[in-house]
Structure 1
């Protein structure tokens, strides 16, 4: 599965992550627990879910804007880090608590969330295409001794 397909599958499951409790459950293996600002509770409140990789155990991703952050330090404030890197994230700008949203509010948020997904996947596909063009171009130049 390509990274774009991976992203789509993960992001489509993120519709359940409006719930603080569900986001919090993703932090079961989070490396920061006590005596720090980036506890699982603070991370989940800031809209993050834990998305670790083999090389990066502290990757957190906003379920809404898909901003991934890693390299967390104990004194990092998740809300501030999220605002600093994604000041226009609709989750951060929500004025209504998820439990108090109307169906119309939710529909508008989901519409925006899906727009973000489509844009991100489109950018990933374009980048993948560019990399393929560059690789093929290098191979052709080598093949025809054009370098």
Structure 2
């Protein structure tokens, strides 16, 4: 998807074709690929930073919409993709893969935390109803267990 032509090919059923700023050509130039579904025909995602946007308006400029919502190394390339050295390409690809792995990791962690909360609630409800148990403060309610949250992924 680094190549413009490959991104452009994804916009076969894009709802904005002419007389607007978010044409398939402009979308592809801004790094987007079209990834719609039946309910959302105008979903576009940056292949590099994975920013996903929907609800496009004919006046929306894809480049501006992309840059105002997210810092994307693909948009910051100092030269055309075709002119990158092998080393520059590998560094760029490592950044893209790091972004992907961090996004997937965050999803897995969030899903796990939701399951833990559901299980804890189920257990507390069970013990309260069966044994008249009074639960202690949860870690999120107890000030003595508060800590600053760090990032799961470092950007560089």
- Give the alignment's TM-score, normalised by structure 1: 0.84
> CA shift at 1:19, angstroms?
0.4
Q: Which of 64, 70, 87 is matched with 2:54 structurally?
A: 70
Q: Distance in 1 between matches of 2:42 and 2:85?
A: 34
Between Structure 1 and Structure 2, which shows a larger proportion of helix residues? 1
- Call closer, same or farther: CA 1:67–1:99 in 2, change over 3 Å: same
Greater relative contact order (CA < 8 Å, ≥ 6 in sequence) = 1
Q: Distance in 1 between matches of 2:102 and 2:28?
A: 24
Partner residue of 1:50?
Answer: 34
Q: Which of 113, 116, 122 is matched with 1:130 structurally?
A: 113
Partner residue of 1:30?
Answer: 14
Is 1:95 the counterpart of 2:82? The answer is: no
Q: Distance in 2 between matches of 1:56 and 1:141?
A: 40
Partner residue of 2:101?
Answer: 118
Partner residue of 1:4?
Answer: none
Q: Distance in 2 between matches of 1:132 and 1:51?
A: 29
Report SS of the residue matched to 2:56.
coil
Is 1:109 the counterpart of 2:92? The answer is: yes
Q: Distance in 2 between matches of 1:143 and 1:35?
A: 61
> CA shift at 1:50, angstroms?
0.6
Quote the RMSD (CA, aligned, Å).
1.3
Q: Which has the larger radius of gyration?
A: 2
Partner residue of 1:60?
Answer: 44
Question: Which blocks of at least 5 consecutive residues in structure 2 are unaligned?
Answer: 135-156
Aligned length in residues: 130
Report SS of the residue matched to 1:92.
coil
